[in-house]
Chains A and B, each alone.
Chain A
Amino acid sequence: MSEFFQQLVNGITWGSVYALIALGYTMVYGILRLINFAHGDVYMLGAFFGYFVARALGATQEPGLLGALLVLLAAMAGCGAVGFVIERFAYKPVRRSSRLAALITAIGVSLLLENGGILVFGADPKFFPQIIPSRNLSLGGGVTISNQQIIILSVSLVLMVGLRFIVLHTRVGKAMRAVSYNHTAAALMGISVDRIVTFTFVLGSVLAAAAGVLVGLQNPKIEPLMGIMPGLKAFVAAVLGGIGNIPGAVLGGLVMGITEVMVVGYLSPSYRDAIAFVLLIIILLVRPAGLLGKYSAEKV
């Protein structure tokens, strides 16, 4: 039984990472109806930015929460910039084109980031500095949780609450919601659609960067292809919760994380990558709108 709870703890931790990445997907899809394939690679870049900043700050000599916070903020800023550049130069020109063209562009950007990463960073895995050394706390009953897992959970929670605040209680958030309903109407209301789109991208990239740094803290091995699978799984999580729906992304992420850990622990780890897609197919067959989504009829 304690094994079950241990797996649950692991699952919730991974789930919150997937949730952070899924939020980016869901926001971008809600606004642009575009699956940003490159999002997983922004997560990878977040981990790498964090790595370089941490090494530059010599954070290994002075581990601590302040150092970790600086690294986190630096990585978030860096990836925000990356998101801005990607949107401006790759996605904006294809906004008016067909959906397939946009999809292919997204795939192209993803490949570019991955292979560019191999070229620039080198293909060998790097070791993320241990800014916060790991310590285990016992939750009783043979279940342990590490302080890193606690940090992941709490930072994710803070970021999600922050996002919810932005989306529901600020003007920018209202503009985002308006644009996701209907571009033209929003433009007619005086909202600069371009700026909102850019803002959404930056916001999503910032969250992905945070996820990257958090994962780097816990699993210190980083390499340029590390974003592919988490990116795909986070997308599945977003669909699971209802794409375009922000609480849905969080729920989907948690479900995704827990399911994956359970299947790996109790069934077989070799199917880890396939689980995400099986889940996806099931949800799209049974409830295509996702757990929290609303199915909208297609208007002709």
Chain B
Amino acid sequence: MKRIAWGPVAKLVAVVAVLYALNALLPRLLNPYILRVVMLCGISVILAVSLNLINGFTGQFSIGHAGFMAIGAYSSATFSLQAGANWVRALEAAGTPTGIAQGAVLLAGLLLGGTVAAIAGYLVGLPSLRLRGDYLAIVTLGFGEIIRVLITNIDAVGAARGLPGIPAWTNVFWVGLVVVGVTVFSFHLARSTHGRALFAIRDDEVAAEALGVPTTSYKVLAFIIGSFFAGVAGALFAHYNAYLHPNSFTFLKSIEIIAMVVLGGMGSISGAILAAVILTLLPEVLRFAQELRMVLYSLMLIVLMITRPQGLLGAKEISLRWFTRTRPARAAR
């Protein structure tokens, strides 16, 4: 069969077209509650895949991811409230259709949120480099908490009262685009030399260093990239709920993201996606047992670690070959 050579540009156009269509169709097909669940799944996927870069690929225990999400959320929200809305009006006055104007400014906001979060990732990653394992975990936890406490004390972003009135520009298109973006990026990174370096650090940092891998730079890089995407996820979150409150970015949120990465299998991108979807849908499905929900959740974590600590997919990815492969004949022993 002749294989069509899809160039990267063609792939991009195809993705954009599909997402555009979905963006138009889904709000019509699904009731707002289901649509909301789908969007929240998407944001969770972005968070899980981005954390997978730090925890799964590079083996760094980071349990303060919610802090980066918060930074992205608050910085992009502040931008939109201060300048973004004006930009949209200016663009519309110049004749741009509303959807495109909002989308363009949202994109600017997403990039801003991601960048500020990446800077924070750099600041967190750098000093934490000397630390290993558990210490790193606690320091990242500490950073996450410090960020949350700081936000709770900054009156300009609403402090404990929250930040209302953020323009609600997030839609299926943008969430889908970032999901595709972070997934494709991760896949490519995994197959590149940089990815190999990250895996080497995960497997044995001392050996990697001895082999000439600049572990310091790579670890910081992992933090920067992971926190960038977390910031973008936060920005999408802010522009979806139209309201921000520090309570949404507690240690518990960080744990929820970790649970997704661990459930899916550390290092597995498709595992992270799968687990993110499962763990976002599960509370909705289990609403009848809502008072038991947290107890069940914690039991799940414990049982999972005891029985299958490598998660659902281990370090493997879902592959189409699994469905098409016929059972191989057993080799004679």
Using a CB–CB distance below 8 Å, which chain A residues touch chain B? 29, 33-35, 90, 93-94, 97-105, 107-112, 114-116, 118-119, 232, 235-236, 239, 268, 270-271, 273-274, 276-278, 280-281, 284-285, 288, 298, 300
User: Provided the pairs A112-B295, A298-B206 are in contact, do residues A107 and B255 lie with their beta carbons within 8 angstroms?
Assistant: yes
Q: Is the Cβ of B302 less than 8 Å from the Cβ of A98?
A: no
Do the beta carbons of B298 and A115 come within 8 Å of each other? yes
Q: Are B306 and A90 in contact (CB under 8 A)?
A: yes
Interface bits B138-181 vs A (CB < 8 Å: 1, else 0): 11011101100110110000000000000000000000000000
Assess the B143–A277 pair: CB atoms within 8 A.
yes
Q: How far is the CA of A276 from the CA of B133 in the complex (A)?
A: 20
Q: Are B295 and A115 in contact (CB under 8 A)?
A: yes
Residues of chain A within 8 A (CB-CB) of B132 are 298
Can you spell out 23 A-B residue pairs with CB atoms less than 8 angstroms apart?
A: A33-B134, A35-B134, A35-B137, A94-B305, A94-B306, A99-B133, A99-B134, A104-B259, A104-B305, A107-B255, A107-B301, A108-B305, A111-B297, A118-B294, A236-B138, A236-B142, A239-B138, A268-B153, A270-B149, A277-B146, A281-B139, A284-B127, A298-B206
Closest 10 CB pairs of A and B: A277-B142, A108-B301, A111-B298, A115-B294, A112-B298, A108-B302, A101-B309, A274-B149, A105-B305, A93-B306
Chain B residues in 8 Å Cβ range of A276: 142
Contact between chains at A280 and B298 (CB < 8 Å): no
Residues on B with C-beta less than 8 A from A109 are 298, 302
Residues from chain A with a CB closer than 8 A to the CB of B292 are 119
A90 to B298, CA, bound (A): 12
**B262 proximity list for chain A (CB < 8 A):** 100, 104
A277 to B61, CA, bound (A): 17
Residues of B with C-beta under 8 A to A118: 294
Q: Of residues B135, B206, B305, B306, which shows the largest number of chain A Cβ atoms within 10 Å of its Cβ? A: B305
Q: Are B130 and A288 in contact (CB under 8 A)?
A: yes
Which partner residue on chain B sits nearest A103 by CB separation? Answer: B137
Interface of A is mostly: helix
Interface residues of B, dominant DSSP:
helix
Contact count A vs B, C-beta below 8 Å:
116
Q: Is the CB of B302 within 8 A of A300?
A: no
**Least CB separation from A29: chain B residue:** B134
The chain B residues found within 8 Å of chain A, CB to CB, are 55, 61, 127, 130-135, 137-139, 141-143, 145-146, 149-150, 152-153, 206, 255, 258-259, 262, 266, 291-292, 294-295, 297-302, 304-306, 309
CA distance A34 to B292 in the complex (A): 28
User: A285, B127: Cβ atoms under 8 Å?
Assistant: yes
Which residues of the other chain, B, contact A288 by a CB distance below 8 angstroms? 130-131, 135
Name the residue among B55, B132, B262, B306 with the largest chain A CB count within 10 angstroms.
B306
Asked if residues B302 and A90 are in contact (CB atoms below 8 Å), the reply is yes
- Residues of chain A within 8 A (CB-CB) of B206 are 298, 300
Closest Cβ neighbor of B311 among chain A residues: A101
A29, A105, A280: which contacts B142 (Cβ < 8 A)? A280
State the Cβ distance, B303 to closest chain A Cβ, in Å: 8
Minimum CB–CB distance for A247 against chain B, Å: 20
In the assembled complex, the CB of B262 is this many whole angstroms from the nearest CB of chain A, namely: 6
Q: How far is the CB of A40 from chain B (nearest CB, A)?
A: 12
**Of all chain A residues, which has the CB nearest B133?**
A99
| Interface contacts beyond A97-B309, A107-B255, A298-B206: sample of 9 additional A-B pairs, CB < 8 Å, sorted by A | A34-B134, A94-B309, A98-B309, A114-B294, A116-B295, A235-B138, A270-B152, A277-B141, A284-B139
B137: chain A residues at CB < 8 Å are: 35, 103
- Chain B residue nearest in CB terms to A104: B305
Which residues of B have CB within 8 Å of A280? 138-139, 142
* Minimum distance in angstroms from A248 CB to a CB of chain B: 15
Q: Within the assembled complex, what's the spacing in Å between the Cα atoms of A285 and B146?
A: 16
Chain A, Cβ-Cβ closest to B291: A119
Chain B's nearest CB lies how many Å from the CB of A92? Answer: 9
Closest chain-B Cβ to A239's Cβ sits at a distance in Å of: 7
B301 pairs with A111, CB closer than 8 A? yes
A231 shortest CB reach to chain B, Å: 12
Q: Let me know if A105 and B301 touch, CB within 8 A.
A: yes
CB-CB under 8 A from A33, the residues of chain B are 134
Shortest B54–chain A CB gap in Å is: 12
Chain B residues with CB under 8 Å of A29's CB are 134
CA distance A100 to B305 in the complex (A): 9
- A88–chain B nearest beta-carbon distance, Å: 12
Q: Do the beta carbons of A111 and B294 come within 8 Å of each other?
A: yes
User: Does B298 lie within 8 Å of A278, measured CB to CB?
Assistant: no
B138-A101 in contact (CB<8A): no
How far does the Cβ of A289 sit from chain B's closest Cβ, in whole Å? 11
A118 vs B299: C-alpha distance when bound (angstroms): 15
**A149 CB → nearest B CB, Å:** 27
Q: Which listed residue (A105, A119, A277) contacts B302, Cβ 8 A? A: A105
In the complex, A99→B266 CA distance in Å?
A: 13
Bound: A100/B149 CA distance, A: 26
Q: How far is the CA of A278 from the CA of B295 in the complex (A)?
A: 31
* A103 cross-chain contacts in B, Cβ below 8 A: 61, 134, 137
Cα A110 to Cα B141 in complex, Å, equals: 15
Residues of B within 8 A of A232 (CB): 141, 145
